A and B are shown apart, each in its own frame.
Chain A
């Protein structure tokens, strides 16, 4: 589902975000991405969501070589990759419902179908009663759940999360992670970047450790 072949990313500033990463995630697989800040976790996720392009090597997602994807195809690619951020990136002038509906609206889905899907997504993150409120009135954990609902509402085959629990206390963090485990059980491919090694070690999932832009350790990688 996700494949990195000797991928490097050098920024215009000269900073090397990734240098020669090989990584393969099978469909339906879930992996945690760990490493110090600056180790390249965010860069790796950005390459998958095409927020950045690789300077060397090839990135494959869902059978497509992202290097060969034209700019005008990027939006369609992003509809297949749900992205979750540490700072949620919610729109504060729109209700929870409208925030979650956004991916469906941009894809041109009909009103009735949008309503049905948003309700289903709200139900998954246990926020059904909050659909009419504005995100600012929600707690940090609830806002993150809105962000998650937005990422999964269009049922993308791939979900990426960049430090989704970065601002949450341990209990909420565990709740969020368990939510991800549930999605994985229904076949979604997940890649979650986090520095919370203690928390994730209890889940028994694959852990990929990055150091200085390279894969230093991979609990489920090819031998």
Chain B
């Protein structure tokens, strides 16, 4: 009797509309479950938020600094400080001589009066300058090498050649600090990536552990659902959605932290930029990091939940 011919296939519900509907219901009920424990939910989300805010905030900072250094166009300029006795006419001759060289793209003369004027304006020692009876500043020729002279060594060699001119007291490379800044930002950038990876791991563990506790709390429920024919996917789903919600809430908190830090930094940075006679302003968060946090958070939450669910749901079997 039991072996009579009959289809042994089980009927499975594969209607995509009901499937979507069930997912929507499940995601909302997971959110509802989280909202019933607002304090613990907020604390978990805040930890995730801080973990996400740290790397994205640092990334933003590095981004801003490298923007600052890239306004030098990557090309180094050389300041040629002329000797003290060189007159403005002689200075212009020097400039023309230098400009004739094939490896020089552009030259500009800042004569002694201009230099004084600029110094008076920027240094804040204007009144002290007025007390001097003669201009202590030398004339300066600003030189931008051809683009063909690119490497730091080549530029340095050029500077040494220029320094050999009799009228030139000092050929100072402006490249150095730009390079150093670049190296520093590169280092920090790398550190930020490492930090981001570590904190992403932390988010995984936080969500994983939270979901693990949740699974333990709902042990009986999971058992009963398995008894009445709930599939693993059905049982997994609310926990995965919880992970996603944790990630999303964390991402929102993280963004809020970054944006409010930007807001707090904006005033001081503007003042600092003003002092450096720069119109530099803090860039607002770039779309890439914005999307990174908004999608990365939920993705990490999902992954963390998946880790916990994969490990612990199989252990719960009805008896």
Contacts of B4 in A (CB 8 A): 63
Contacts of A106 in B (CB 8 A): 225, 228-231, 234
The closest CB in chain B to the CB of A81 belongs to B229
The closest CB in chain B to the CB of A46 belongs to B319
- Determine if A1 and B22 form an interchain contact, defined as CB atoms under 8 angstroms apart: no
- B177 contacts the other chain (CB 8 A): no
- Determine if A78 and B229 form an interchain contact, defined as CB atoms under 8 angstroms apart: yes
- Determine if A79 and B229 form an interchain contact, defined as CB atoms under 8 angstroms apart: yes
- B106 contacts the other chain (CB 8 A): no
B1-29: CB near A (< 8 Å → 1, else 0) gives 11110101011110000110010000000
- A120 contacts the other chain (CB 8 A): no
A76 to B229, CA, bound (A): 6
- A107 contacts the other chain (CB 8 A): yes
- Determine if A103 and B13 form an interchain contact, defined as CB atoms under 8 angstroms apart: no
- Determine if A24 and B10 form an interchain contact, defined as CB atoms under 8 angstroms apart: no
Contacts of B225 in A (CB 8 A): 102, 106
- B236 contacts the other chain (CB 8 A): no
- A204 contacts the other chain (CB 8 A): no
- A2 contacts the other chain (CB 8 A): yes
The closest CB in chain A to the CB of B14 belongs to A108
The closest CB in chain B to the CB of A59 belongs to B2
- Interface size for B (C-beta < 8 A) is 29
- Determine if B228 and A150 form an interchain contact, defined as CB atoms under 8 angstroms apart: yes
A38 to B220, CA, bound (A): 25
- A51 contacts the other chain (CB 8 A): yes
- B226 contacts the other chain (CB 8 A): yes
- Determine if A76 and B13 form an interchain contact, defined as CB atoms under 8 angstroms apart: no
- Determine if A78 and B2 form an interchain contact, defined as CB atoms under 8 angstroms apart: no
Contacts of B231 in A (CB 8 A): 72, 75-76, 106
Q: A63-B3, A110-B18 are in contact. Are A73 and B228 (CB under 8 A)?
A: no
- Determine if B1 and A26 form an interchain contact, defined as CB atoms under 8 angstroms apart: yes
Out of B221, B226, B318, name the residue touching A91 (CB < 8 Å): B221
- Determine if B229 and A108 form an interchain contact, defined as CB atoms under 8 angstroms apart: no
Distance from A211 Cβ to chain B, minimum over Cβ atoms (Å): 23
- A27 contacts the other chain (CB 8 A): yes
Distance from B20 Cβ to chain A, minimum over Cβ atoms (Å): 12
Residues of B214-232 contacting chain A, CB below 8 A: 220-221, 223-232
Out of A24, A51, A62, A91, name the residue touching B224 (CB < 8 Å): A91
The closest CB in chain A to the CB of B13 belongs to A108
- Determine if B1 and A75 form an interchain contact, defined as CB atoms under 8 angstroms apart: no
- B90 contacts the other chain (CB 8 A): no
- B317 contacts the other chain (CB 8 A): yes
Residues of A1-38 contacting chain B, CB below 8 A: 1-3, 24, 26-27
Contacts of B229 in A (CB 8 A): 75-79, 103, 106-107, 154
B298-319: CB near A (< 8 Å → 1, else 0) gives 0000000000000000000111
Return the 9 tightest CB-CB contacts between A and B, nearest first: A76-B10, A79-B229, A106-B230, A60-B2, A78-B229, A103-B228, A3-B2, A75-B231, A108-B13
Q: Give the interface of B toward A (CB within 8 A).
A: 1-4, 6, 8, 10-13, 18-19, 22, 220-221, 223-232, 234, 317-319
29 inter-chain pairs at a CB distance below 8 angstroms, sorted by A residue, are A1-B1, A2-B2, A49-B227, A51-B227, A51-B318, A51-B319, A60-B2, A63-B3, A64-B8, A72-B231, A72-B232, A73-B10, A75-B231, A76-B10, A77-B10, A78-B227, A79-B228, A89-B220, A89-B223, A91-B220, A93-B221, A102-B224, A103-B229, A106-B231, A106-B234, A108-B13, A108-B22, A150-B228, A154-B228
